[in-house]
Structure 1
């Protein structure tokens, strides 16, 4: 907890691996997973899974474990990057080798509250370079800045001998200045029961249940306020995290999809529902995909249709991530 408020903006780490094992990272036992998360200073709250991957709601955001990919997303003053050496101590026993790393985050609301190694982006880059294996020689960093206070920090590292092509896109949305009436729905009622029960109620009451109807959902409400949700559908996921306090309210939405299957109408409806749930005054979104991807244009259209005005747009190319298009919007409510 920061001295001036809770830091909603997440740090996101994605590591990909190669190896012969079919189950790969899903062979990690619960003790190993807890050790990895303990290094980052967070814990598991609840979890779900399917044939493709496992998804966990954390005390600070989310964890997704695929056979050859792991995504850890944490907020607050967690020390996410310290999970790397602990994780990499386990992977050789699973027959896995790191093939790429992507680390991203927005601009912190309370940057001075962040501990080592997250006090600034230069420190994060230095820590990553020191703790990732030497085969990841194709390294690029960039800070995509906009006219607003939001910036997008990207670190990308890859093994040049391993193909990094993928048809998956990722949308990472950060929202601040949430509508106060809507934000109040993310405060627990006194008789709401357990965190899981209260989370299920919030999912329905806030309209989040309508974003991805039919998906398997794992949700949790924190005390006295705050909310986290993971939903899974085949190998795709979406996740929402909310810090509703006045003065530093924040919500994030992240989802993945297949570029070849992306439907403009469906994506616009989903993102439109997200904006309706929170009605933020400022919104920034990073869309990561192939250089040919036009998903970012669909995202722009959806957000503008929902009532926000684009302020700026920046683009960057990264060896392990592909092309990142970062856009900033302002509410016109």
Structure 2
């Protein structure tokens, strides 16, 4: 095992690290039994593991379709004190911000997975003693059950404040390599600017052209490498797509919504439901108090006021999220006082009569509004489907109906000065080309994208949409297209054309306040 390098504890009064660490583990399907499912693990056991990560469960949502294949896979969405966790039968997504030590929980997660997925038994983990009793051998057997692992994060704003292996990217990579064979680590983007770090491993190993993105490329330069003779896709035989929008330098007019004075009025609708379109979140034992109730009430109120509560609703009516199948969108949001916001949502699939067609899935949002470290993230695996109707123009003006309109809506809510957008999707028709284009205020030309075969799949359409994305008042500063084993990545960065003036304005405001 890697010996983590621990520094002095971070000053709690210092700036908060908004960019999250994101771990995604896909396990091989086991016996079709409720006991052989990660969702069989109770909340107290998850909390014991999360104690090693230094975060707490605030509340949870549960989605369990009545029929197999109806409304997406079963999922439990946990809202944490530092971000989120999504638990599926054979998949885990853990996302934590601040100075949490996410990777220090990996051994315990793998130990748990071995017992649950291979043996059908949830082991007893009673605090630190229970965790120490966990066998490293069991963890390594759990690692053998992993079909794919993804670990990623944006470059930290305040790397010196991180703890354990998270103080250095190569320490993180070494810890992951200790459990997974043939892992591959990548730096995507500018080393001296906004960049994104990715580690991936699985039954097929890393990309066959691992060197490509670390080689500097001039404007519109194209690098190519041979595609592997075989490519695997996720075991569920459906397109896997994850969109992340990582935003910094938020405009003060947008961040005002995420400050909560002690006596802020909760308004007439003070429950967890926002405009009647969300389900209930169950709270943990630590959340059964007035502070937690107030945090959830303010979170629901904020979700409705900024438009997140109706993000995938094709109507503004309260019943818009109720579908013919009886399913509803579920939203669990929490407002941190005096500032900060987190939310998870489980999205039901669109119904036959809906103007906007989309799959089931989740989205999650986390906001740090302070001007010296402002940050917001949006992540979703919901995919828009062909056939969204434009008949109800008024609805579609306010409701995202494709990938481009979703990104524009999120940007409109948070008004970032800078942002990185990643689209990670399973490759049904992989292309052998890798393209890296530097700063450009205009969309890529048709000639630059014609160097590779164009997929007619929905995933290919989304990748091309992001590749050609244009946002009003923003200029694109980087664009990278990359092919991995079974997955394609599109990475783009944007900067607001008025960012310089916005910085001056913020500095002037801070000087006056001081």
User: TM-score under structure 2 normalisation?
Assistant: 0.60
Contact 1:140/1:318, CA 8 A, preserved across alignment: no
| Deviation by residue 1:41-88 (Cα, 9 ceiling, x = unmatched) | 101111111111010110000000000100000000000011111111
Partner of 1:209 in structure 2? Answer: 309
Q: How far 1:265 sits from its partner (Å)? A: 4.3
1:194-273 matches, within 5 Å, as 194-213=294-313, 214=321, 215-234=329-348, 235-258=360-383, 265-273=401-409
Q: 1:39 deviation in Å? A: 1.3
- Kindly provide the CA deviation profile for residues 125-180 of structure 1, in whole angstroms up to 9, marking residues without a partner as x: 001111x2xxx434211101238721110000102499543511101110001010
Distance 1:301 1:172, change over 3 A: same
| Post-superposition offset of 1:22 | 4.0
Of 313, 324, 330 in structure 1, the residue corresponding to residue 489 of structure 2 is 324
SS at match of 1:82: helix
Cα RMSD for the two superposed structures: 2.3
TM normalised by structure 1 equals 0.91
CA distance in 2, matches of 1:15, 1:259: 24
Tell whether 2:246 aligns with 1:174.
yes
Q: Which residue of 2 aligns with 1:137?
A: 181
CA offset digits 1:258-291 (Å, max 9, x no partner): 4866979432222221111111110101110133
Q: Which runs of 5+ in 1 are unaligned?
A: none
Indicate if the aligned counterparts of 2:475 and 2:495 stay in contact, CA closer than 8 A: yes
User: Any conservation in 2 of the 1:14–1:102 contact (CA below 8 Å)?
Assistant: yes
Q: Which has the higher contact order (CA 8 A, sep 6+)?
A: 1
Distance 2:56 2:63 in 1: 21
State the 1:211 CA deviation: 2.1
In structure 2, which of residues 200, 207, 224 is the aligned counterpart of residue 156 of structure 1?
200
In the alignment, the residues of structure 2 paired with residue 220 and residue 59 of structure 1 have an alpha-carbon distance, to the nearest angstrom, of: 9
Larger strand proportion of the pair:
1
**Of 259, 269, 289, the match for 2:425:** 289
Using the TM superposition, name which of 191-200 and 71-80 deviates more. 191-200
Name the SS for the 2:99 alignment partner.
coil
Structure 2 Cα separation of the partners of residues 5 and 104 of structure 1:
22
Which residue of the other structure, out of 102, 123, 129, is the alignment partner of 1:80? 102
Report how far residue 300 of structure 1 moved: 4.9
C-alpha separation in 1, matches of 2:387 and 2:59: 30
Q: Distance in 2 between matches of 1:22 and 1:146?
A: 46
Matched residue count? 327
* SS of structure 2 residue aligned to 1:210: coil
Contact 1:199-1:220 at 8 Å conserved across structures? yes
Does the CA contact (< 8 Å) of 2:262 and 2:338 recur in 1? Answer: no
Give the distance between the partners of 2:307 and 2:91, measured in 1 at CA: 30
Q: Does 1:120 align with 2:168?
A: yes
In structure 1, distance between residues paired with 2:111 and 2:387 = 37
Q: CA deviation at 1:327?
A: 0.9
Supply the distance in 1 between the matched residues of 2:32 and 2:51 (Cα, whole angstroms): 26
Match in the other structure for 2:438: none
Is 1:67 the counterpart of 2:86 in the alignment? no
Mapped partners of 1:179, 1:64: distance in 2? 30
Q: Look up the match of 1:309.
A: 475
Query: How many angstroms does 1:102 deviate by?
Result: 0.4
2:63 matched residue in structure 1: 50
Go from structure 1 to structure 2 and tell me whether the alpha carbon gap of 1:201 and 1:300 turns closer, same or farther (over 3 Å shift): farther
Compared CA separation, residues 147 and 140, structure 1 to 2 (3 A): closer
Unaligned runs of 5+ in 2: 1-8, 65-73, 119-144, 206-230, 267-293, 314-320, 322-328, 349-359, 389-399, 430-458, 499-514
Q: For residue 100 of structure 1, report the CA deviation from its aligned partner.
A: 1.6
Mapped to 2, the partners of 1:247 and 1:280 lie a distance apart of 13
User: Bigger radius of gyration, 1 or 2?
Assistant: 2
Tell whether the 8 Å contact from 2:342 to 2:366 is kept in structure 1 after alignment.
yes
Tell me if structure 2 keeps the 8 A contact 1:168–1:259.
no
SS of the residue corresponding to residue 183 of structure 2 reads: strand
Alpha-carbon contact 1:169-1:259 (below 8 Å) kept: no
